[in-house]
Amino acid sequence: MKKDTIAAIATAVSDSGIGIVRISGEEAIKIADRLYRSKNRKKKLSEVESHTIHYGFLFDEEEMIDEVMVAVMKAPNTYTKEDTVEIDCHGGILVMHRVLEAALKHGCRLAEPGEFTKRAFLNGRIDLSKAEAVMDMIHAKNEFAMKASLKQLKGAVSDKVRVLRDNILYEIAFIESALDDPEHISLDGYHEKLEEKTDSLLIELKKLIDSADNGKLLKDGINTVIVGKPNAGKSSLLNLLVGEDKAIVTSIAGTTRDVLEESIKLHGIGLNIIDTAGIRDTQDEVEKIGVEKARKYANDADLVIYVVDSSCPLDENDEEIISLLRDKKVIILLNKTDLNNQVSEEDMKKSFRKSYEGTNHVYEKQSLHIIRTSTKDNTGMDEFEHCIKDMFFEGKIAVNDEIYITSKRHKEALMEAYDSMQMVKRSLEDDMPEDFYSIDLMSAYASLGRIIGEEVEDDLVNEIFSKFCMGK
């Protein structure tokens, strides 16, 4: 079936030095020939060697649009595995749109978001996990996200998935062959072998699933909320972490009325920080709204930084804050240590322990991290940064060696495969017939196939690529 030839602007649509208009499809080079004229008019683009660049001018009929460089790449050794032409023009918005309009006028169709990468997937150049890594690379917020996406693009995830699928498929084929030809293929002793293989596969799947939480945090950042009473030093902490005055800092309690959001990096770890209004009883209607928002954000956070003014004794407002933080990952900063200290580490532990009384929560399960700081003197910040790494990543972030699952879709597929392998194990324990094993093994095989796109519906493919940017 003949495919449309598509075109789109492949660079950011803004004033820049160079802009690129990409054309892909069976008619790509013929259409480009209708627009391009070399300086000496000796050669058409259809006559040149593949993967070469040519200098000349771009015309729409007899009107010259721009002076250009044109890259010609012939199938199948291209990004889409189709004939591809990239026109490098000047990066003005008007110029790029004129080049694109000329390409559309002479036979191209405007590409849908992600359609170039979708064609690369449909034409077999990359699998679905690699295609998703392309968009992750574009949207990478930190160095880890970029490296994780690059590893996935190079095949770290898909290679691992293929190995797991091959192991499962071998067992399926063996069982089916033995059931079809019992005279020549014996299942004697196979029960023990399959049990050993199932345990091994469950360990591998669990390791990948467990990496997903850390992978998501490292890729997207840790959702971090700063809470505390008014004037405890929350906004000063935000300004210190960000490195500039983002929040208004005064000695007047209740200055912060709404949330402030910033993204920062600490030792390569992304923190999506939200500074909230000071939590206290107040009659101010606007401040009340800010306090309610603070409570909600604290409840949804991956990490809560509880800033305590250690120069003042704890009061009922602190008790309310502490009650909100049961079972949460919390770092307590005993701030203003440059002043007379009225709150000790033991005071904080007693207050947290007391908040658990009469509830179904277990205090011993919450590990409290208490650090003495002074945002004024910039003390305690190194310990604070190392504490975050220890809390979330056990002090280590093995970016180069570990495979991290960073996609929710991939995690869900792995969990389904894990559940299917658990069913295999249960059937083995119950000494069920061999065809029961085969059914659940096939289910695990199919679940893993969805990660790389071999067991996936068209609607899901369309949904994934619809999230891509135009021109990619």
pLDDT in tens, 157-190: 999 999 999 999 999 998 888 888 888 888 888 8
Please write the tens of the pLDDT for every residue from 395-416.
455 555 678 888 889 999 999 9
**Range from 205-214, 286-295, 329-338, 381-390 carrying the lowest mean pLDDT:** 286-295
- Would strands 109-110 and 84-91 be described as parallel, antiparallel, or unpaired? unpaired
pLDDT given for residue 252 in this prediction: 35
Give the chain's mean pLDDT.
83
- pLDDT for residue 133 is more than 70: yes
- pLDDT for residue 325 is more than 60: yes
pLDDT given for residue 50 in this prediction: 96
pLDDT band at 285 (very low <50, low <70, confident <90, very high): low
pTM of the model: 0.72
Tell which wins on pLDDT, 363 or 27.
27
How many other CB atoms sit within 10 Å of the CB of residue 447? 23
pLDDT given for residue 135 in this prediction: 84
Residue type, 70: V
b or e along 381-404 (b: 16 or more beta carbons within 10 Å of the residue's beta carbon)?
beebeebbbebbeeeebeeeeebb
Structure-token match 């002074």, residue found: 374
- pLDDT for residue 428 is more than 80: yes
- pLDDT for residue 256 is more than 50: no
pLDDT given for residue 255 in this prediction: 41
pLDDT given for residue 314 in this prediction: 87
Say if residues 230 and 426 touch (Cβ distance below 8 Å): no
| Rounded Cα gap, residues 102 and 98, in angstroms | 6
Please write the tens of the pLDDT for every residue from 101-126.
999 999 999 999 999 999 999 999 99
Q: What is the dihedral of CA 306, 312, 313, 315, to 10 degrees?
A: -60
- pLDDT for residue 253 is more than 70: no
Name all domains of the chain by residue range, CATH numbers in brackets.
6-111 (3.30.1360.120), 141-216+407-455 (1.20.120.430), 230-393 (3.40.50.300)
pLDDT given for residue 394 in this prediction: 61
Distances (CA, A) of 147 to 218, 406, 472: 11, 12, 20
- pLDDT for residue 192 is more than 50: yes
Say if residues 107 and 68 touch (Cβ distance below 8 Å): no
